[in-house]
Structure 1
Amino acid sequence: MSLLGPIEAAVGGQPMAIGGQGRRALLAALAFNPGTVVGVNRLVEVIWDDHPPVTATTKLQGHVSALRRSLVRLGGPDAVNVLQTRPPGYLLCARLTSTDLARFDELTHRAAGARLPDGAAARVAALSAALRLWRGDTCVDARSAGVAVLAASLDERRWRAMEDLAEAQLVLGDHNSVIDAMEPLVRQWPYRERAWEHLIEAHMRRGDIASALATHERLCQILAGDLGVKPGQRINRLVNIIRAAGQR
C-alpha cells in the first residue's frame, strides 16, 4: 500500500479500487501502523472529523465490508484476512501488508547507521532511495483533519531526511545538489534553520562567498521580520568562518 502521495493499494500486483474519501481515510488510518488495532471511535473521528452522522458506526462497517470484498475479488478468499476485526476496532495484518512508509523507515534507519564522514556515500544512497518513494504530499487525497495530523508527522520526517541527505552530500562535495534541494525547501518552510545552514555552507564550499552571505541575509530578514529573532549559534559560527575567508 502506498501512503507517500495519493493513497494507492494493490493485491498481488493488481491495483485495487479503494473508493471515496471515507474508505481512503479508513485505510490510511489503519495503514499508518499495520498490526495495531485502531478503535471504532478513533476511526469514526478520522473519517468524519467532529461531525459524524448518527449512523457512523454502521457506515464504518459498510466501508470495511466494501474493502474486504475488493480484497477478496483480487486476492481470493484468504485476502479477507488482510483487514481484520479486533475489538475494539480493526487492524491491517502486518504479515500480509507492506507499505511504502515501512520501506521509507527501513531506509532512513539504514542511513542513520552510516556515520559521517566515512559513511557519506552509503547515507546518500539510502536517503536518495527513501525520498524517491514520495509521489507527492502524504495521503493527499484523504485530507480529513484526522488524516492530516498523521500526514503532517510524515511530512516532517521527509524534510528531515532531505536535510540529512544534504549533510552527507556536503561531505561528498556535491554542493550543487544541496543547493537544488535546499533552496525550494527554505522557500516552502522558511524557518528550517538546518536547511538554511546547509544552503549557506553549499554556497561557501563552491567558493561563492557573495551568495553565501546573501543567503544568510535573507534568513536574517525573514526571522527578524516574522519572529523577531536572529539565527542560531551554528549559523552564526558558519557565517563568521565565511566572512573570515572573504577577507583573506
Structure 2
Amino acid sequence: MKFACAAVLAASLALPAYAETSAPKNPLNDGETWAELRGDVVGDEVIADGAALFDVDAPYRAHDAATVPVHIRQLDDTASIESAIIVIDENPAPVAAELNFGPSMAPLDMEVRVRVNMYSNVRVIAKTDAGLAMNGRFVKASGGCSAPATKDPELALASMGQMRLKYFEDTLQISTPRREAQIMIRHPNYSGLQRDQVTQLFISAHFIDTLEVFQGDDMLFTMEGGISISENPVFRFSYSDNGTPALLVRATDTEGNVFEQTLIKAGHT
C-alpha cells in the first residue's frame, strides 16, 4: 500500500461515465487530502464516476467512530467488479482494505466495518473490466483509530482468532440461489494509537492483515487490511451458493499468527 502526491484527474476522460442518478445523502466533499493520496493509491489511472455502477452507504454522523459500517451494493449487474479499495482520506493509514472478489460474489453486495479517525471522505474505488470507478460518502466521526478497546487486553488475546458464521434469509436472483452471510473474527485489531487503560502506555499495532474466504475450491473474497478495519472485524456479504456445505476462512495477523476455520452451514454436519 503506497502513498504519494498526484492531482485528481477528471472522471470522464477515458472511461464510460457512470452518471449519478440521484443526489446522495452525504456526498464526497472536495478536499486537498485526496489530491495528495491519489497517486499512491491508484497512480495516474483515470477514475470514472461510479454512482450508477455501485452505491456506498455509510452514516453521515457515525454512532461509533470505531465501528462504522460501509455497505457496497452493485447497481449495474452487467458490469464485473473484480476488486475494490476502501480509502478513508483523513485516517493515519488511509487505505483501510484492498478486496478481491471471486465470480460467486457478483453482483457485489458487501458490508465492512471500519474506524474513522476524524471527519473524512470514505471512498470505494472499484476495478472493472472497463477500468476504475469511484463512489463514497462523507462521514462525521472522530477518534475511531485511538478509541479504547472494548475488552481487557488479556481477554482479547485469549479469544483471538475465534470465528462465527451467521446466515440470513436466503434470496433468489434470477435462477441462481444467493445466500447472505456474516463472518465475525475475534481480534483486537490494535491500531498502535490506543493506550492501555491501566498503564496509559500505547499498545503496539497488532491487526489482521490478510483474510481469505472460500466455499470449497471457489474463492469468495480476499482482503489485505490495515489499522482502519474495526476491532473484531465483521464482514457481511451475499454470494452464489455452489452447494458446498462449509466456508473456509483463513486469516493472518501482523504477529505471524494464522487462524483457519471451516464454518459449517446450518443444517449440515
State the TM-score, normalized to the length of structure 2.
0.20
State the TM-score, normalized to the length of structure 1.
0.21
Higher helix fraction (1 or 2): 1
Structure of higher CA gyration radius: 1
